[in-house]
Amino acid sequence: MPSRARLACVAPSMVSDVWPLARALIKSASEKTGLGDFERTEREVLAGLQLLWLAHDGSKIEAAAVTQLVVEAGRKLCVLVACGGDGRDRWLPLIEGIESYARDEGCAAMLIGGRPGWQRVLSGYAVKSVVLEKGL
């Protein structure tokens, strides 16, 4: 049985070196959901305004995620901006590490936007609202 992936938060000072290895995963995730602007995410990650997280096995990156801390309605939140990769069963439990980071930063909650399937696999997360779209 393969070992479980490990979580690493990339230091903003090192992100420009690592971004080329994670870029396609984040871009693909952004394109699949249609939520968010990949170019903005890329600019903000490279500027240190959003954090890049990697799930890796020591030799390869299995998944990448981007988070951003925001304040809305007086509450500090950690937003999972995008997350993509292969072998989800190996790295999905690593979200606990991001949740721990958010608690340490004083966040009241995590927010995740994405495809409806995430609700089935993320324990403790519930639908609070939906985004409806109609093409014109």
Domains of the chain: 6-121 (3.40.630.30)
Q: What are the residues facing 63 on neighbouring strands?
A: 55, 85
Q: What is the pLDDT of residues 95-112, one digit of tens each?
A: 999 999 999 999 999 998
d(CA 38, CA 60) in angstroms, rounded, equals 23
Tell me the two tokens of residue 54: 């990697």
pLDDT at residue 1 is higher than 50: no
pLDDT at residue 128 is higher than 50: yes
Mean pLDDT for 73-81 is 93
Mean pLDDT for 30-34 is 82
